[in-house]
Amino acid sequence: MRRFCFTGLFAAVLVVFGGCKKPETQAVKALTESTVQIQISGGTIRVTTKTAEFSLSASGDLQSTLLSQSGKLSFEEAAPGIEILSAKKPIVDFVRDINHAQIQSATGKLGSLGKKIKVTGKSATTGLEETLTLEIYDDFPSLALLSATYKNSGTKEIHLDSVSLDGQQLNATLSDPAAKSHEMYAFFGSSLKWGKDDVLPIPAKFSQENPFGTPVDTGDDLGRVGGGIPVVAFWTRNVGVAIGHLETLPLSISIPVITTSDGRVQASVRIPAEVMLKPGDTFSTPRVFETVYKGDYYEPLHLWSEAVDREGLTKPKNNEENYAVSWCGWGYESEVTPKQMTDTIPKLKELGIHWATLDDRWFSNYGDWQPRTDTFPGDSIQNLVKDFHAQGVKMQLWWLPLAVEDGQHGYDSHKYIVSDVVKQHPDWLILDEHGKHARMTRNLATLCPAVPEVREYYKQLTERFIRDWDFDGHKLDNIYATPKCYNPKHHHKSPYDSVNAMGDVYKTIFETTRALKADSVTQSCPCGTPPSLAWFRYMDQAVTADPVGSVQVRRRMKMYKALLGPTAAIYGDHVELTQISHPNGGEEQDTGSDFASTLGTGGVLGTKFTWPDYGKKFSNVYLNPGKEPEWKKWIGLYNEKMLSKGKFLDLYVYGYDSPEAYAIAKNGKMYYAFYAPEPAGKTGGKSGTYKGEVELRGLEAKHYHAVDYINNKDYGTIQGPTAKLSADFKGSLLLEVSPAN
């Protein structure tokens, strides 16, 4: 008998995950009894915790209900919860024995107290036996885990195409009678296309596949993105539900979402199997999850992050340098010179900026990462770092791990050659199923992270940049996912070994850098998309990642505060990106100055201005005398308040609380940020206006003093725990609320 456990789109023999682990040899003795309650009646299992109720029916339908002070809240309808495809057809005759479910104590990384329920079933036509496992832990009372194992107990081979678990049918009207069935908001953790909104209201007609783990072809010069955080969340005004998987590897699953003809929203976690089960063989899925909550996407992302933290993907500790304002030389674009960089130093010091980044195209080619001889000849790179250090400014270096040039394709004006590392080690390359070089972002060839020598190569590169060249950190950019590897010389157990090993290279870079410089800053940017499960724990500083306007800055700031922690350092990216235009359909023009969208949400300020004046080419980002006072004001306020070190509080629901609002707690004070909606039909950072009440939540039941600390406007004394103010503002309103004397 062979055991197959899901590792991606390929089922590999004896690869074990939490959802398909071997039986525990010794149970951990519980100190107290679990508070999880279970009832079985009428062909349904009901599980009740202190915050939620879950029900599992004979169709495999898992539904969740929020237990709140106002009663039970849900917007789930009955649906076929499980779909098993074999030979492209669904197996529809599974009979599940709900009434004889086995109930056991659950203990594991998610907690020492909980309940585990096993339900068996069988398809008479195929002989396929099913064992469903439902787990609920006391430490995570609003979270249910579901996994399945399938055994071929028949006499013929069965081709298992895919298994879809936790099928959902959502109807917003159930929780909000004034809403149409589809009228809910959603968060998609998938990485699909640069600049695509990942938080949006679901329209009446909608379909999105949401693949995770492996690269996604974008059909443009970027080539590929992909990876993602395996969470999709839906919420109404009163209740939300989210689904995904809870393994610590970037599994290649999908969470397709579609609206039906009658307006319902359907979703499920689809697990491709693509395995032939001989008689006696088994296939096990990873653990998928469902959580029910009140709020927007912050709650499920925070919960998921806490759970994978328990599973082994622990958050790194912050250091002080993570919170420093940073300037990036990308304002000078790809032909930047040492002189342009160093000429900016006086202005950086004047503004109170002590971090700088040497950005894209300082190098001769992807892979070897040696300086260009035309713009950085000789020891120019090392001398550049010395010049910045002499003036008290630390430096990061832009680069892209795993990318190499193989003489094919190109990006922008750069035509690819063959990197020396490819010439010397052609066997390190990832090959696709046709034996050709597999492509990653920018249509680059890719080194296989599952090869030990490749990981050692990136350790040596990191040592060169940090120890030998004396950089203080990295800007790892355009990082998404790694292709599958079919290179026979690598002897992989699965083509997904390369996908799953991507994080090992980023961990090597991160840990090597910290060992060399404890106060280093490794910044990771999945340009224009959510990050990847593969590497999101191996960085000091996340980035709002090339936002298309101010609203994406704020939404991604909330996403990262949920994923990385309420005091995590999140770089708001270049402030110039808060307003983007393409005049007459031409090149992108970045003219933003909305520091408030980063400052008010607890982010780290960034800018890419040029200085002194280099003429028309850089006029949009030149820090001219008219703009300079604004930069000084906001950077000064940032350095004074340091809200990025404060605690992000989840007090407002995106999409339903108006105006859009955020709250930070720091040193006994509360800081609120309110943002007016963009004008109808406008995107890319155009400021709107708001006139009406704003609500200050999260206060104690005492008096406070409220001040608009940007414009020095005094709002007088207010009364907690919830206060309301009349406001009239354009763009944003940022308030500091202190206990009254």
Tally of residues, the chain: 741
CA–CA distance, 258 with 272 (Å, rounded to integer): 19
Which amino acid, one-letter code, is at 575?
V
pLDDT of residue 4: 74
For the stretch 99-150, pLDDT in tens is: 999 999 999 999 999 999 999 999 999 999 999 999 999 999 999 999 999 9
Per-residue confidence (pLDDT) for residue 12, from 0 to 100: 46
- What does the pLDDT average to over 254-260? 99
Contact in structure between 28 and 34 (CB atoms under 8 Å):
no
Cβ proximity of 700 and 711 under 8 Å: no
Question: CA 89, CA 106: separation in Å to the nearest integer?
Answer: 35
Question: Encoding tokens for residue 360?
Answer: 């894209």
Burial tier of 485 (Cβ tally within 10 Å: 0-12, 13-18, 19+): buried
Of 168, 304, 167, 185, the closest CA to residue 238 belongs to 185
Place of tokens 């030149």: 622
Please give the pLDDT value at position 2.
Answer: 73
**Residue-wise over 404-420: b if at least 16 C-beta within 10 A, else e?**
bbbeebebeebebbbbe
Report the pLDDT value the prediction gives residue 30, as an integer from 0 to 100: 44
Q: What is the rounded average pLDDT for all residues in the chain?
A: 95
Instruction: Give the pLDDT band of residue 681 (cuts 50, 70, 90).
Output: low
Number of helices (H), then strands (E), belonging to the chain: the values are 10, 49
Q: Do 80 and 94 form a contact (C-beta atoms < 8 A)?
A: no
Strands 326-328 and 604-607: parallel
pLDDT surpasses 50 at 32: yes
Q: Which amino acid is at 224?
A: R
How many Cβ atoms are within 10 Å of 64's Cβ, its own excluded? Answer: 25
Contacts of 633 (CB under 8 A, 6+ apart): none
- Is it the case that residue 528 has pLDDT exceeding 70? yes
For residue 389, pLDDT over 50 is answered with: yes
Look at residue 258 and tell me whether its pLDDT is greater than 90. yes
- Reported as a pLDDT band with limits 50, 70 and 90, residue 417 is very high
Indicate the pairing of strand 44-48 with strand 37-41: antiparallel
Q: How confident is the model at residue 586 (pLDDT cuts 50, 70, 90)?
A: confident
Q: How confident is the model at residue 621 (pLDDT cuts 50, 70, 90)?
A: very high
Residue 16 has pLDDT above 90, yes or no: no
Q: How confident is the model at residue 8 (pLDDT cuts 50, 70, 90)?
A: low
User: Which helix (H) or strand (E) segment is 504 a member of?
Assistant: helix 497-516
Query: Which residues, including other chains, have CB under 8 Å from residue 640's CB and lie 6 or more apart?
Result: none
pLDDT at 18: 41
Identify the structural domains of the chain with CATH numbers, from first to last. 3-17+35-189+229-311 (2.70.98.60), 660-739 (2.60.40.1180)
